Amino acid sequence: MLFDPDIFFAQLVSTDYMKGAALSVAVAVFSLILATVIGFFMAIGRTSRRTYLQAPAHFYVWFFRAIPALLVLLIMWNALPQLIPALRADWFSPFLAASVGLGLVEAAFMSEIIRSALLSVDEGQGLAGRALGMSPAKVMLKVVLPQAIRIALPPTGNEFIGLVKYSSLASVISLRELLTTAQVGVNITFRYAEYYAAAIIYYLVIVSVLSILQSFVEKKFAWTSKTAKSKKGMDVVNTKVGIS
């Protein structure tokens, strides 16, 4: 059996694959948003000096870093509806279960990224903000967070790409994302090479687009004026930001 380009191209432009790819990206987006929000509060908790904030955050990160994502998804989809009748309703879809499940797991990792980003902001920054009379919340929002985001961006991009791939785990809870789509096709036709190759192309395209998006966002956080950028180039940023 030779590689049949016609089957490959037919799948490449099929609506099944496109839908699958869209679902994979959507799960990744939603779980990343959820993970960032939860992760931010966990990071605040872990950097806090108060035990009643530190302990629950510590527990969360410890728990969800230990449990395999696959197990969390199975619990979300199979065990929770048994325990909570409300989750047996139609609105509790595989998409929702996958997004929340992966988001909960990812939050443990995002919290570590955000925590180290917050800690890496120079202490003098908070000091300067407080000296101006800013409240602790304003110091966080206007001074520390914008600088922490810049540091957290590259590892967050990594996590995002990871989530696109982790979304394939949702095949176990019957979400027809990209890999499930390929697998279903294979089960009918046995054209492994063609169907998997089409999936490869989709993953490559998705991750390439995300990488371009990431470098675009990172440039937004370059902190140079446009005139200086055209004159001196990006090396100004690399050598001088962070010194003061």
Partner 1 sequence: MTKLPILQVKDLHKTYNGNAVLTGVEFEVEKGQVKAVLGPSGSGKSTMLRLMALLEPADSGEILLKGTRIGSREHKGHTLHLPERQLAAQRQEVGMVFQRFNLFPHLTAVRNVMLGLTSVKGIAHHEARSQAMDMLKKVGLENRATHFPSELSGGQQQRVAIARALVLNPSVMLFDEPTSALDPELVGEVLEVMERLAETGMTMIVVTHEVRFARRVANEVTLFDGGVIVEQAEPEQFFTNPQHERTRKFLSHVR
Q: Which is nearer to partner 1, 66 or 131 (CB)?
A: 131
By the rule CB under 8 A, 47 interacts with partner 1: no
| Backbone dihedral region for residue 179 (phi beyond 0: left; psi -120 to 50: alpha; all else: beta) | alpha
**Contact (Cβ atoms closer than 8 angstroms) between residue 139 and residue 129:** yes
At residue 18, what is the residue type?
Answer: M
| CA pair distance 200, 195, nearest whole angstrom | 9
By the rule CB under 8 A, 56 interacts with partner 1: no
Per-residue binder mask for partner 1 (CB under 8 A), 108-147, x = binder: --------------x-xx-xxxxxxxxxx-x---xx--xx
Residue 183 tokens read as 């697998």
At residue 61, what is the residue type?
Answer: V
By the rule CB under 8 A, 235 interacts with partner 1: no
CB of 222 to partner 1, least distance (A): 9
**Contact (Cβ atoms closer than 8 angstroms) between residue 120 and residue 148:** yes
By the rule CB under 8 A, 189 interacts with partner 1: no
| CA pair distance 176, 168, nearest whole angstrom | 9
By the rule CB under 8 A, 86 interacts with partner 1: no
| CA pair distance 91, 87, nearest whole angstrom | 8
CB of 40 to partner 1, least distance (A): 18
The residue from 150, 160, 175, 206 that contacts partner 1 (CB under 8 A) is 150
Enumerate binding residues for partner 1 (CB under 8 A).
Answer: 122, 124-125, 127-136, 138, 142-143, 146-147, 150, 221, 223-225, 227-228, 236-237, 240-244
